[in-house]
């Protein structure tokens, strides 16, 4: 089995980075690049698995082969519909790629962040390096910053304190969803039915440490 080719994977990641660095208006192009990257990642992982001598050869040879009649029968008895297929418009994986593309397209460049905050480009890079801003996942570079953390004339109140606690290992979509959705633990006064999203909580200048504590469970 051939060894995995890291250069091939790097090429697809570079394609995504190139699109992120530009003003992407073509969502479909970015989604296609993300899908192509994912396919290359899967191929890379498969090649690495097949080339791993620490795994018994019979297990590697078995991986990816068609299901046996016994396995098919067992799955059917368990209630699995082997003919089930997901329509493209309802494919959760594709929906995830579209969400990531939308985040990247709407995100701010370094120059835009510098103008928004009244800082220099160098200061923005320093803030990002110190995790005082939330930049996109490392594999996409630090050229863009998701828009949810900014107001029209600056940074969301308290976000300086919250940003260092956002795990950079989390998918961008998960982070954005956390900040955008109402959280049952962020309620107004004693009215537990009137809840806020973390963005609304910070925008109303409430205690940022409350949001920080919730991030630990994300």
Model pLDDT, residue 197: 94
Task: Output the six-digit token pair for 4.
Answer: 């995995």
Instruction: Dihedral sign for Cα 163, 164, 166, 169, please.
Output: positive
Task: Output the six-digit token pair for 3.
Answer: 């060894």
Buried b (16+ CB within 10 A) or exposed e, 61-71: eeeeeeeeeee
Q: Which residues pair with 188 in a beta bridge?
A: 191
**pLDDT, tens digit, for every residue of 105-152?**
888 988 999 999 999 999 998 999 899 999 886 666 657 899 999 999
Question: Quick one: which of 197, 218, 193 has its CA closest to 206?
Answer: 197
Kindly tell me the burial class for residue 212, based on how many C-beta atoms sit within 10 Å of its own C-beta (0-12, 13-18, 19 or more).
middle
Q: Give the global pTM.
A: 0.69
Angle subtended by helix axes 121-129 and 110-117, to nearest 10: 100
Task: Output the six-digit token pair for 146.
Answer: 């998701």
Angle subtended by helix axes 92-106 and 172-180, to nearest 10: 80
Per-residue pLDDT at 94 exceeds 60: yes
Question: Which one is predicted more confidently, 143 or 167?
Answer: 167
> Any idea where the domains of the chain sit in the sequence?
6-100, 107-215
Q: Which long-range contacts (CB under 8 A, 24 or more apart) does 24-33 make?
A: 24/101, 24/104, 24/105, 25/105, 27/98, 27/101, 27/102, 27/105, 30/101, 30/104, 30/105, 31/94, 31/97, 31/98, 31/101
Task: Output the six-digit token pair for 189.
Answer: 């006064």
- Average pLDDT (192-199) is 86
- Average pLDDT (56-62) is 76
Q: What is the DSSP string of 147-186?
A: GGGEETTEEPTTHHHHGGGS-TTS-HHHHHHHHHS-EEEE
DSSP 22: S
Angle subtended by helix axes 27-50 and 92-106, to nearest 10: 120
């Amino acid at each position: 089995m051939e060894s995995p080719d890291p250069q091939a994977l790097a090429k697809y990641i570079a394609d995504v980075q190139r699109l992120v660095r530009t003003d992407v208006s073509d969502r479909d192009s970015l989604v296609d690049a993300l899908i192509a990257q994912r396919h290359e990642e899967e191929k890379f992982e498969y090649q690495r698995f097949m080339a791993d001598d620490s795994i018994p050869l019979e297990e590697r040879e078995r991986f990816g082969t068609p299901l046996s009649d016994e396995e098919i029968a067992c799955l059917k008895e368990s209630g699995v519909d082997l003919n089930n297929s997901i329509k493209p418009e309802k494919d959760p994986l594709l929906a995830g790629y579209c969400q990531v593309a939308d985040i990247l397209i709407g995100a701010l460049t370094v120059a835009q962040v510098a103008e928004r905050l009244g800082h220099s480009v160098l200061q923005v890079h320093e803030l990002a390096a110190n995790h005082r801003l939330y930049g996109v996942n490392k594999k996409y570079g630090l050229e863009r910053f998701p828009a949810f953390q900014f107001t029209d004339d600056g940074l969301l109140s308290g976000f300086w304190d919250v940003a260092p606690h956002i795990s950079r290992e989390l998918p961008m979509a998960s982070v954005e969803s956390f900040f955008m959705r109402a959280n049952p633990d962020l309620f107004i006064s004693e009215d537990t039915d009137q809840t806020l999203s973390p963005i609304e909580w910070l925008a109303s200048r409430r205690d940022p440490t409350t949001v920080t504590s919730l991030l630990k469970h994300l």
